[in-house]
Amino acid sequence: MTSVKWLVAAGICLWTSAVSGETLVERGEYLVEGPAGCGNCHTSPVPGSAPYAGWALVEPGFVAQASNITPGGRIADWSDAELARAIREGIRPDGSVIGPPMPIMLYRNLSDSDLNAIVAYIRTLEPVESEFVASEYPFPLPPAYGPPIDSVPDVPREVSVAYGEYLAGPVAHCTECHSLKDGMPDFAGNFGGGGHEWHGPWGISVAANITSHEDGLAGYTDDQIITMITQGIRPDGSKMNPPMGYHHYARMTEGDLKALVMYLRTIPPLPSDG
């Protein structure tokens, strides 16, 4: 596992990897702007919109308000620990619960160091002031998504199935969007099976089957899969539509992309519906 050390500079803890030499904020920037793709939900697709200032996400059956996560939003009054808990456990400082599509069940497995890095980078975003608007759901939210989390260890950053699984789950939440059934994740019956429809200005996008089945990724080479993930271009040259955050995934390192594909190859085969 990559060794780390903590430096104290100007009263701020900076995490440095003995291998990469990156700081905590640099790791957070890579995650937020890259594989975690936070801007894919928290930035409005309307041209000229302020990054990370939030907007209304229209989902089947409900409308969720993606929060302003810049230092000009309500998180400015939250401690780092409170913000980290909201991200990983879905519990705000006032005890209220964050609802879908925030993938809390996957974020619960974010490592401590990556979670701290995400929080550190979010604090550096350009502040945008806005009023908080609460989401309204036609169904009750759980009181919590599980017991309080004490600590989550790092997954070694290497080209491996284990790290690819970490990237596809807690970080990039591929396994949520591609496992949706009737608008909610169905990890038991539709893990990676795709089929969920997103309606937008582009028309209708359907989440692809990302399992190892012939209906999924079995017929593609690793390079073809990486091109689809990072550029949204299929082997036949046709263009894939939003809402997948291709521009975020294009920032991923070659090693991370290889690990991700390595893991996707291990997802049990599942035929696509219909």
Tens of pLDDT along 37-65?
A: 999 999 998 899 999 999 998 877 788 99
**The pLDDT value given to residue 2:** 32
Token pair belonging to 139: 């169904």
Q: What is the CA radius of gyration of the chain?
A: 18
Query: How large is the greatest C-alpha to C-alpha distance in the chain, in angstroms?
Result: 59
Q: Residue 14: what pLDDT?
A: 39
Q: What letter would DSSP give residue 53?
A: -
Is 153 exposed, middle or buried (CB count within 10 Å of its CB: 0-12, 13-18, 19+)?
exposed
User: Given this model, what pLDDT does residue 31 score?
Assistant: 98
Task: List Cβ neighbours of 47 (8 Å cut-off, separation of 6 or more).
Answer: none
Residue 121 pLDDT: 98
pLDDT of residue 153: 98
Strand partners, 91: 97
The structure's pTM equals 0.90
How many Å apart are CA 100 and CA 184, to the nearest integer? 8
Q: In this structure, is the dihedral angle defined by the CA atoms of residues 207, 211, 214 and 219, taken in order, positive or negative?
A: positive
Q: List the pLDDT tens digit at each of the 274 positions of the chain.
A: 333 333 223 233 333 343 468 999 999 999 999 999 999 999 998 899 999 999 998 877 788 999 999 999 999 999 999 999 999 999 999 999 999 999 999 999 999 999 999 999 999 999 999 888 889 899 999 999 999 999 999 999 999 999 999 999 999 999 999 999 887 899 999 999 999 998 877 889 999 999 999 999 999 999 999 999 999 999 999 999 999 999 999 999 999 999 999 999 999 999 998 5
User: Could you give all domains of the chain from N- to C-terminal order, each with its CATH number?
Assistant: 42-122 (no CATH), 161-264 (1.10.760)
